[in-house]
Structure 1
Amino acid sequence: MSEFQDQKKKMAKKIWGIAALVFFAVGGFLLMGITGRKTEISPEKASRPVKTMTLLAPEVTFRRIFPGKVIASKTAELSFRVSGPLVELPVKKGASIQQGSLIARIDPRDFRIQLTNAQSALSNASAQLDAMKAGARKEEISALSSKVSSAKARLSEAETDYQRMNRLFDEGVVAQVDLERAKTTYEVAKGELNTASQQLQEARSGARVEDIKAMEATIQGLKAQVEAAQSALKDTELRAPFNGIVAERYVDNYQSVQKNQTIISLQNLERIEIIISVPEQDIMRIKTYRSPSFFASFEASPGKKYPLEFKEITTKADPQTQTYAATFSMPYPEDFIALPGMTTQIEIVGEGETKGTGDFLVPSIAVVPGEDTKHFVWIVDEKTMTVHKAEVSLLSYKDDMAIIRGGVNTGSRIVIAGVNYLVEGDSVTFFNSEE
């Protein structure tokens, strides 16, 4: 009986062992299924790129200094309008010349000959026209009358001879060739009389109207040739169109040059221009300051400031520096030589529109209308890179800028582009050059 019980116990242990193995196998399989399952992660909202500005301490007086560079306000590339060899070239690179000064001269001899020929042809044509309008002189008419009389006498003689030859030919006394010779002489004499009579008639009545008009047209053409020759002769001299400095000389004396070939580059000495690069935030400030003043200082004239006139500013920022090119002008200084490429310092001073210590000047597009008459701006939390509303008081507008108070502090970073697409807590990234 005890042996049977021992076998029974052994059988039970085996069954429990198999069951345990099955349990752990199934459990492991289930565990692998759970751990091997991919965790579904809900996609995060993409950060929105925005343009921002950092609020600076309000200023009653604005003063900024920018490095600048001198440029010529006017540059001319001078050339001849005619071709030929140079015989004079007195200017050198860097020389200062006055308006009207000789820069270069082309050999004028051929051009003088052309002018003389044109003037001579015009004089001859004018004399002919005068004669045509005045008619022939008395002695000329007398000579033509004598010519007509002689022609009549020759014609009468030739006619008599021709008639006599006809009778003799009919009688068979002369040959056919003699008759033909007499006929030819008669025809020539008749033609000479017609010509002489026409010349006498023209001399007595003057030239025909159409002949006079034709000669007048010829004279107009000759006058144009004379004017062209005079201009060509004048164009053999190249003179300065304004006071300036010879920035470059491209040819040498005695060299043959072609028309429109650049001889020198002349830069204006009456005024100079200065160009600077201005960041966007300073552009925003300068636009709203009352009566800004501009001054230039040069190393060549230490301790002296030169008033400037604002000329223009580009409307598109440089893609590399995100700055705007502003151009100023001033009269050419009398106490030193200012050349293009020289460096200078530009000082801009203005009285601000903001009066209170908590007033800030911002682009008007940064101010968003809220409920009722409230307004707000978006402030960027730079630690979390998220945006939050800040209610502000809108004091006034000036052009495309706004003056606000409250809700922001010096150093606050506000969104100035893309404000209408934001909601509270949005993640943002920067894309402006301030970062």
Structure 2
Amino acid sequence: MTRLLALIALAPALALSACSAPPAETDPAPRLARVETVRGAESASMREFVGRVEPRLSVDLAFQVGGRLSAFPVMEGQIVPEGTVIAQLDSTDFARAVRQAEVQRQQASQNLERQRILHERGIASDAALEQAQTEHDLQSVSLETARQNLRYATVNAPFQGLVSRRLVDNFTTVAAGQPVARLQDMSELRVAIQIPESIVAVVDQSQPADIHARFPFLPGQTFPLTFRELSAEPEPASRTYTAMFALPGDLPGNILPGMTATVMVSLDSLTGNAEPALVRAPAGALSAAPDGGFRVYIFDADAGIVREREVEVGPVGGDSVVIRHGLEPGEQIVTSGVSALYDGMRIRPMEGRNGLPAGR
């Protein structure tokens, strides 16, 4: 009887509990995420290369005949005009050969004249006259060769240039073709840099390029460079291509071949891309989009959520990447753990790289 009365008393409470609504589900806690502000990348397309100063032309001068040096009047570092005597061989033997050839040709000329007279009188045969003519021609060639060898005993400067190096000492016996001095054409100095194939593949040589050089001994000064040539074959070891640029003619310092320079190249101008990069963002902010592109997550500080946005990616440099389209300087993006995010997800910013709360 007591149990029945207790059940009757609990019935109204059970009915009220059955009619009440289920408790509401609580929203998940915001995800902790690193948020950073993207910065402008006005100079993001600038690259620096180590360059080497080169002359317009460098020639190793040599004799075309062998002999012993008798005169070597030029000094290293000397600027010589075109036609200047660089070195001379002892010409005694060459002069003797010229005199011998002159005597032999004179004899051949006298014999030829005698055979003509005899042929006209019907005494000498046609064969004898032809033989005399042939001997005269051969002696003429020998004389021309002897005189040419005498001229070859002197090396003259083929152009105005700098004697950068004497490769032998005076009184040395040299062979034909052995270099004795190096002459450099200083009428136009150039800077050579090594460019990777990834840049060479998109170079537009018809576009004026924004390229400058600076030297460590001329601080605060930059000099515009003019494109001259690009090698068609890469270096075997580095697989890079040599590009040559001309320096201006009014350089203030004593710039010499072999000096190093820092060459600053605008990739946008080199490749003919007129549209500059807009912003630079950490590479960790990118995630793959379904269409094969890239996207980032923009942080909406007022709503406390992130929004997906597709972006166009440009050159990558180190741990950052150029964003050509899709972002503006000053916007805030999530820079780590983006694979776990989705559009509209609530996040709580953590401290950024600058040590301050992100989004402030």
Range class of TM-score, shorter chain: 0.5 to 0.7
User: How big is the shift at 1:250?
Assistant: 2.5
- Structure 1: distance between partners of 2:159 and 2:141: 30
- Structure 2: distance between partners of 1:314 and 1:410: 45
1:306 equivalent to 2:223? Answer yes
- Structure 2: distance between partners of 1:57 and 1:280: 28
1:133 equivalent to 2:50? Answer no
CA contact (8 A) 2:279 2:327 kept: no
User: How big is the shift at 1:280?
Assistant: 7.4
Hey, what does 1:292 align to over in structure 2? 209
- Structure 2: distance between partners of 1:318 and 1:203: 72
Q: Flag the 1:304–1:100 CA change in 2: closer, same or farther, 3 A.
A: farther
- Structure 1: distance between partners of 2:140 and 2:242: 53
Q: Deviations over 1:265-297 (max 9, x none)?
A: 222212222123457787788759953222223
* Residue of 329, 339, 354 corresponding to 2:246: 329
CA contact (8 A) 2:295 2:311 kept: no
- Structure 2: distance between partners of 1:94 and 1:412: 60
* Residue of 100, 107, 124 corresponding to 2:107: 124
CA contact (8 A) 1:312 1:328 kept: no
CA contact (8 A) 2:86 2:156 kept: yes
The answer to which of 81-90 and 55-64 deviates more is 55-64
In terms of fraction of residues, the more helix-rich structure is: 1
User: How big is the shift at 1:115?
Assistant: 0.5
Q: Flag the 1:126–1:356 CA change in 2: closer, same or farther, 3 A.
A: closer
- Structure 1: distance between partners of 2:194 and 2:334: 25
- Structure 1: distance between partners of 2:257 and 2:62: 22
Q: Flag the 1:217–1:58 CA change in 2: closer, same or farther, 3 A.
A: same
Hey, what does 2:22 align to over in structure 1? none
- Structure 2: distance between partners of 1:312 and 1:109: 48
1:256 equivalent to 2:173? Answer yes
SS in 1 for 2:257: coil
Tell me the amino acid that sits aligned with residue 64 of structure 2.
Answer: R
Hey, what does 1:338 align to over in structure 2? 255
1:109 equivalent to 2:92? Answer yes
- Structure 2: distance between partners of 1:214 and 1:295: 71
Tell me the amino acid that sits aligned with residue 81 of structure 1.
Answer: Q
- Structure 2: distance between partners of 1:127 and 1:319: 67
1:211 equivalent to 2:128? Answer yes
Q: How does 1:148-167 map to 2 (within 5 A)?
A: none
Tell me the amino acid that sits aligned with residue 97 of structure 1.
Answer: V
Hey, what does 1:223 align to over in structure 2? 140
CA contact (8 A) 1:115 1:230 kept: yes
- Structure 1: distance between partners of 2:71 and 2:261: 38
Tell me the amino acid that sits aligned with residue 223 of structure 1.
Answer: S
1:68 equivalent to 2:51? Answer yes
User: How big is the shift at 1:105?
Assistant: 0.7
Tell me the amino acid that sits aligned with residue 87 of structure 2.
Answer: A
Q: Flag the 1:392–1:380 CA change in 2: closer, same or farther, 3 A.
A: closer
Q: Deviations over 1:58-104 (max 9, x none)?
A: 64995444442213342222221222222211112222222221111
- Structure 1: distance between partners of 2:61 and 2:333: 55
CA contact (8 A) 1:133 1:206 kept: no
Unaligned ranges ≥5, structure 2: 1-37, 282-287, 298-307, 314-322, 341-360
| C-alpha RMSD over aligned residues | 4.6
- Structure 2: distance between partners of 1:57 and 1:285: 24
Hey, what does 1:235 align to over in structure 2? 152
1:87 equivalent to 2:70? Answer yes
Tell me the amino acid that sits aligned with residue 230 of structure 2.
Answer: E
TM-score normalized with structure 2 length: 0.59
Q: Flag the 1:111–1:332 CA change in 2: closer, same or farther, 3 A.
A: farther
Q: Flag the 1:358–1:286 CA change in 2: closer, same or farther, 3 A.
A: farther
Q: Flag the 1:380–1:392 CA change in 2: closer, same or farther, 3 A.
A: closer
Q: Flag the 1:124–1:278 CA change in 2: closer, same or farther, 3 A.
A: closer
Tell me the amino acid that sits aligned with residue 112 of structure 2.
Answer: L
Hey, what does 2:350 align to over in structure 1? none
1:267 equivalent to 2:184? Answer yes
SS in 1 for 2:121: helix
Tell me the amino acid that sits aligned with residue 231 of structure 1.
Answer: Q
* Residue of 130, 139, 161 corresponding to 1:244: 161
Q: Flag the 1:318–1:216 CA change in 2: closer, same or farther, 3 A.
A: closer
Tell me the amino acid that sits aligned with residue 312 of structure 1.
Answer: L
Tell me the amino acid that sits aligned with residue 93 of structure 1.
Answer: E
User: How big is the shift at 1:242?
Assistant: 2.3
* Residue of 272, 289, 292 corresponding to 1:376: 292
Q: Flag the 1:301–1:230 CA change in 2: closer, same or farther, 3 A.
A: farther
CA contact (8 A) 2:58 2:183 kept: yes
User: Quick one: percent identity of the two aligned structures?
Assistant: 25
